[in-house]
Structures are given as C-alpha cells and as structure tokens.
Amino acid sequence: MPDYIVIEDLLVRAILGIKPEERVNRQDVVINVRLETNTRKAALSDNIEDAVNYRTLTKEIIQLAEKSEFLLVERMAEEIAGLCLRREKVRRVWIDVRKPGALRFARSVGVSIERSRDDGN
C-alpha cells in the first residue's frame, strides 16, 4: 500500500499566460502536489535521509515557478512533475496548478496531471 506526501495550496507569483498583461505582470498561482512514496523506512529510523525532504522540494518548486515564464499552465505542471520525479524515493506524482481569478465567474482554472517513473521521467 503506497504512502503519500501532500503539499497543499502552495501560493507563488509567476509570469504565466498568453495575454500581453500576463507576460508582464506576475499573478498568483496555486500549486498542489501529491507524491507517492514509501515512508516506512523514514518512520522507523526517524532520519531525514530516509525521507523525501519536502521542505527542499517545496523550495525548488517555488524557485521554478517564480523564475519561469511559461505560456501554459500545462507546461508548468509538467515541469513540476519532472522536478518531483527526479527524487529517487518518489514513484508517482499528482500535480495541480491553478490560476485564481483567471476566468470570470470561476474561482480558478487549472490543470491536474499524474506522472510516474514508468512514463519515462
């Protein structure tokens, strides 16, 4: 049975979109991440070396998002998935990237993807 690490509602400011104003003005982007892993070894040892260091990973996701200038939410989600899967302890990842207020009458719009090591990442 797999275990999961969940990073919820990570708020970053990024250049993301195809409209001219989106290419100049940073906007809020909300990222959710779910990592499939095995936490048993870390739980038994109580040693960070046996765990997925989600603090370090979160910093890398923030850096990727804030320095990016992606046109599409799909591209940002794919890049975040690849970043997560570079960790040997992560087997599968679910990424959700949302742009709050991007559509009139909608709280947010976004993309949710699932990727695994078997996908060639």
Predicted pLDDT of residue 59: 98
Name the band, by pLDDT with cuts 50, 70 and 90, for residue 16: very high
**Residues 14/69/31/57 CA torsion (nearest 10 deg):** -100
**Residue range 58-74: mean pLDDT, rounded:** 96
What's the structural domain count of the chain?
1
Name the band, by pLDDT with cuts 50, 70 and 90, for residue 30: very high
Q: At what angle do helices 54-67 and 73-85 cross, to 10 degrees?
A: 150
**Residue range 7-32: mean pLDDT, rounded:** 95
pLDDT higher than 80, residue 121: no
Domain range holding 105? 3-119
pTM here is 0.93
Give the separation between CA 76 and CA 85, rounded to whole angstroms: 14
Name the band, by pLDDT with cuts 50, 70 and 90, for residue 36: very high
Tokens of 40: 């048993």
- Beta-bridge mates of residue 116: 92
> What's 88's DSSP letter?
T
Tokens of 50: 């046996």
**67 included as an active-site residue:** no
pLDDT tens string 98-113:
999 877 888 889 999 9
Name the band, by pLDDT with cuts 50, 70 and 90, for residue 117: confident
| CATH code of 34's domain | 3.30.1130.10
Predicted pLDDT of residue 120: 60
Predicted pLDDT of residue 96: 98
User: 5 phi and psi, to 5 degrees?
Assistant: -110, 135
